[in-house]
Amino acid sequence: MVVLSWGSAAIAGTCLPPAPPWMPTDADDVQAYADLLKRDAEAYFTDVERYFRCLDQQRREVFDQARDVSGSYARVLELLDDIGK
């Protein structure tokens, strides 16, 4: 059980959502920082796409892991059933 808990924590920590960029509401700030705001927003959306791909990959890995554990657990239950006979 400890190994399973550690594995879950390790998997959950690999995809980190990107921090949203600062977006000013003052028109003077928008004009003064227009190029920086554009670069930050584009970088943010690139990072968001990367984050979603990471989550999709993790989902596949965890699904495969759950399938393997399910098979192993079925074998454990069969052994327990055989011992109980």
Q: Determine the 3-state secondary structure of 69 from DSSP.
A: helix
The per-residue pLDDT for 17 is 97
The per-residue pLDDT for 65 is 97
| pLDDT of residue 10 exceeding 80 | no
Size of the chain, expressed as the number of residues it contains: 85
In sequence order, which ranges of the chain are alpha helices (DSSP H)?
Answer: 2-12, 27-32, 34-84
The per-residue pLDDT for 84 is 80
| pLDDT of residue 2 exceeding 90 | no
pLDDT one-digit tens code per residue, 43-55: 999 999 999 999 9
Say whether pTM exceeds 0.85: no
Mean pLDDT across the chain: 88
pLDDT one-digit tens code per residue, 68-79: 999 999 999 999
Other CB atoms within 10 Å distance of the CB of residue 77: 10
